[in-house]
Amino acid sequence: MLAFVCVTGSAESFAHLCLLQGILSHADNQTLSFMSSKNDRVDSLHSSCFCTSQSAVKHNVNDECRPVYFLLQLLPTIKQLCMSAKFKYHAFRLLELWIGRLKAIYQDSSVDVCLASDCLAAVENDLLELLSGHLDCSVDGVTELIGAMLDSVMQLDKLFHWHTSL
């Protein structure tokens, strides 16, 4: 059983941010692309499902977004960290690492990634919405990170479409 448990309110702690960074830095692509079965219970800060957009979260009640990939379960918590006032630069560095790991999984030929296009669109939309909402951030270095991440999201889009055209 896959479990990622976060205590409500803990998403703004630096220790939580460091834990997520450790997972993303040291887990291999097979672990990050691990898919839980429909019967596995996954607890996260927002009880997220595979799809992370607001409309997709509403469908979580019906379990339409299962199966769940471990890497994608981390996105709602990372987004919450980016939206908080604390550790904003570090949170966006974490998001940059997350995007890099998603790209790495898609580029890794040993990992079988078969994701529904509607869920991929939801992930891309969530990322673009978050990044565009922070383009005017006053924290030093964040706008530069956002520019690099927008480029990475465009590269992800190309990878998603390349994989679906095979």
pLDDT, residue 152, reads 93
Helices and strands (H, E) in the chain, number of each type: 7, 2
pLDDT, residue 75, reads 92
Summary mean pLDDT of the chain: 74
pLDDT band at 145; cut points 50, 70, 90: very high
Taking residues 130-150, what's their average pLDDT?
94
Instruction: Using the predicted structure, report yes or no on whether residue 90 has a pLDDT greater than 80.
Output: yes
Taking residues 64-90, what's their average pLDDT?
82
pLDDT, residue 121, reads 78
Taking residues 82-111, what's their average pLDDT?
87
The pTM for the full model equals: 0.73
Give the separation between CA 71 and CA 77, rounded to whole angstroms: 11
Tell me the sheet residues that pair with 36.
68
Cα 128–130–131 angle (5° rounding)?
Answer: 65
